[in-house]
A and B are shown apart, each in its own frame.
Chain A
Amino acid sequence: MKALITGINGFAGQYLKKLLEKNGYDVWGIDIKTEKNNKKIIIGDLNNKELTIKILNKVNPDIIYHLAATTSVRRSWEIPLETVKNNYIASLTLIEWTKEKNKKLFIMGSGEIYGNKKKFPIKETSSVNPLTPYSLSKYMVEKTAIFFNKNFHTKIYLSRAFNFTGPGQREVFVIPAFSKQLAEMEIGRREKVLRVGNLSAVRDFSDVRDTVEAIFLITHKGKPGTPYNIASGYSYSIREILNKLLSLVNFKVKVVENSQEFRKNDIRKLEGDFSRLKKDTAWSPKISLEKTLKDTLDYWRKKVSEG
């Protein structure tokens, strides 16, 4: 079996690659840039439809895992139209190719599309209300995929992933950002002052290793055209998470809150119900947030001391 991952050099992409290889897949990838000299990882911009189709025809995968996207919510506010356009057009090309060649496609979606809710944990059956360019694009892609599944019997697998993190995530995201700074403080490379943004947001974090396991299971045991929440089922405030990280180091840190860091239309709380995923694929989260944080901090300790 041959798989192709878009955004293979991204955070989830690298973990999914390892998991697929472990399961006997011949894994190929497309990424916008690559440092690795690997003939199976092809440099390509998914917005270039012709080039994308050429690559797909050449690789001819049995399944495409579409992870590439402008994933940073903060960034999506800086370039809103580009975010919506890029995420949507890229997915359309993949949907079209899959339909024509009768292949499988997995599309990474986001729990952000639910917007602000009152009842938790959020089930897939509750209404959606995208509040950011990023989640709007994810919603449009999902709707289109469901439409194609219904009318053309394509095999498109859908997910709504809530936050996930772990070793290797870029430091534009909150947990790696905190971890990196703490690691730098630990070896005296940074003043022991941590400037933070909105700590009151409440999020449902999974470990990336659990998340890619869920992706794998959705494409093997899940139903096409059915969105699955990928979530831990429990949420913590960013303040609680920071507190946990602070308790993993043996020095005192001054925390300075800066309300300017609040993002536009920020969602107050996200907490996903994963019972549909559990029912269809027997998935449940295996890694506690404590372990995720410890592993992430250790990753940055190593990285910071090396460079």
Chain B
Amino acid sequence: MNINSILITGGYGFIGSNFIRFLRKKLPDIKIYNLDKLTYAANIENLKDFEEDKNYIFVRGDIKDKSILEILYPKVDAIVHFAAETHVDRSIIAPGEFIMTEVYGTFNMLETMKNFKNIKLFLHISTDEIYGSIEKGSFKENSPLNPSSPYSASKTGADRLAYSYFKTFGLPVIIARPSNNYGPYQHVEKFIPLFITNALDNKELPLYGKGENVRDWLYVIDNCEALFLLLEKGKIGEAYNIGAKNEVKNIEIAKKIVNILGKDESLIKFVEDRKGHDLRYSVDWTKIKKLGWQPKKSFDEGLKETVEWYKNHRHWWEKVKRGEFSNFYKKYYKSEIQ
């Protein structure tokens, strides 16, 4: 697909900002519009070096605001829709925001797109969490969806809405369902960055339950490559799982982080499990493999690089930790800490 101009939503978030950086390397001349509401999860510093880039335009706005979409849509050939509320813990405290952003926001984006035939692709970023937990084996793209948190339920709504706009209205939609991402620029409220930064400061590492939960960890750059491949070669109307074969228990990750940093395992502290915590996610990504993608980074390598990145970017995450996040942290892990 030939792209001259692209709209990225949520481009100041973790995956969005990594994708914009990746895209700029691959396509140095295209115009990139980044529509971001700048909620707590966004960080302007993620793309500080783009300030001088004349073909990068930041648009502060909300995907729920139709008037802003109507101004941006005539200018772009493709859309990659990352914008979402993403933290499962927050979806348990305040589910309303998730429904509004994921479901209504995605609806608004799709509905507005009906009038813009110039847009050749809507790449919707979904998640592997919509399948729910699985004890053995892996989910395929046509497996039943069984979300279990307000977050994954609202992401399921968005995923199926995107599909329905393909099926019902013929919009050029592709759906990506990546597994848990990790890497540079991830918000410190998330598991791996939280543990790295706490360990760096010799603070306790609050591990949910017994640390038996298993995720298939995908390095964010590998994910960006997969998404870029879908932009170029994905088939309209299809969903694609993106995974890594890096199934690791949380307790193992905690230990790896402590060991890389040369700290003591006594920093790890078990806390009461998250409500409805899914035990294991696993997706079968044969479909995208057939298109010509596979992850390059091993988990140990990726984790080491990520630890290194957080070590070298203290100013980046200290700011975030001092701010609003600390209130959330206290509320959530209140009794367990200190």
- On whether the two chains bind one another, the answer is yes
Q: Which residues on A are within 8 Å of B, measured CB to CB? A: 234, 236-237, 240, 243-244, 247-248, 287-291, 294
Question: Contacts A234-B38, A247-B31; is A291 near B71 (CB within 8 Å)?
Answer: yes
Write the nearest CB–CB distance from A296 to chain B, whole angstroms. 12
Question: Contacts A234-B60, A247-B31; is A290 near B54 (CB within 8 Å)?
Answer: no
**Residues A290 and B38 in contact, CB atoms below 8 Å apart:** no
**Residues B54 and A288 in contact, CB atoms below 8 Å apart:** no
Q: What are 19 of the A-B contact pairs (CB < 8 Å)?
A: A234-B38, A236-B58, A237-B51, A240-B57, A240-B58, A244-B59, A288-B59, A288-B60, A288-B62, A288-B67, A289-B59, A289-B60, A290-B59, A290-B61, A290-B67, A290-B71, A290-B72, A291-B68, A291-B71
Write the nearest CB–CB distance from A269 to chain B, whole angstroms. 13
Q: How far is the CA of A248 from the CA of B54 in the complex (A)?
A: 14
**Residues A247 and B38 in contact, CB atoms below 8 Å apart:** no
Q: How far is the CA of A291 from the CA of B61 in the complex (A)?
A: 10
Chain B neighbourhood of A247, CB < 8 A:
31, 57, 75
Chain A neighbourhood of B59, CB < 8 A:
244, 288-290
Write the nearest CB–CB distance from B85 to chain A, whole angstroms. 19
Q: How far is the CA of A240 from the CA of B58 in the complex (A)?
A: 8
Chain A's closest residue to B31 (CB) is A247
In the A-B complex, list the 10 residue pairs whose CB atoms are closest, starting with the nearest.
A288-B61, A288-B68, A290-B71, A291-B67, A290-B68, A294-B71, A234-B60, A290-B59, A243-B57, A247-B57
Q: Which residues on B are within 8 Å of A, measured CB to CB? A: 31, 38, 51, 54, 57-62, 65, 67-68, 71-72, 75
Q: How far is the CA of A240 from the CA of B52 in the complex (A)?
A: 9
Write the nearest CB–CB distance from B14 to chain A, whole angstroms. 20
Chain B's closest residue to A240 (CB) is B58
Q: How far is the CA of A248 from the CA of B71 in the complex (A)?
A: 8
Write the nearest CB–CB distance from A271 to chain B, whole angstroms. 12
Write the nearest CB–CB distance from A243 to chain B, whole angstroms. 6
Write the nearest CB–CB distance from A123 to chain B, whole angstroms. 15
Chain B's closest residue to A286 (CB) is B65
Chain B's closest residue to A291 (CB) is B67
Chain A's closest residue to B65 (CB) is A288
Chain B's closest residue to A237 (CB) is B51
Chain A's closest residue to B33 (CB) is A247
**Residues A243 and B54 in contact, CB atoms below 8 Å apart:** yes
Write the nearest CB–CB distance from A103 to chain B, whole angstroms. 38
Write the nearest CB–CB distance from B169 to chain A, whole angstroms. 25
Chain A neighbourhood of B72, CB < 8 A:
290
Q: How far is the CA of A289 from the CA of B38 in the complex (A)?
A: 14
Chain B neighbourhood of A291, CB < 8 A:
67-68, 71
Chain B's closest residue to A255 (CB) is B54
Chain A's closest residue to B54 (CB) is A243
Q: How far is the CA of A141 from the CA of B31 in the complex (A)?
A: 47
Write the nearest CB–CB distance from B88 to chain A, whole angstroms. 28
Q: How far is the CA of A30 from the CA of B180 in the complex (A)?
A: 63
Chain A's closest residue to B53 (CB) is A243
Q: How far is the CA of A193 from the CA of B143 in the complex (A)?
A: 58
Write the nearest CB–CB distance from A297 to chain B, whole angstroms. 10
Write the nearest CB–CB distance from B97 to chain A, whole angstroms. 15
Write the nearest CB–CB distance from B51 to chain A, whole angstroms. 8
Q: How far is the CA of A99 from the CA of B288 in the complex (A)?
A: 75
Q: How far is the CA of A190 from the CA of B266 in the complex (A)?
A: 72
Write the nearest CB–CB distance from A290 to chain B, whole angstroms. 5
Write the nearest CB–CB distance from A167 to chain B, whole angstroms. 14
Write the nearest CB–CB distance from A236 to chain B, whole angstroms. 8
Chain B neighbourhood of A244, CB < 8 A:
57, 59
Chain B's closest residue to A293 (CB) is B71
Chain A neighbourhood of B71, CB < 8 A:
248, 290-291, 294
Write the nearest CB–CB distance from A137 to chain B, whole angstroms. 32
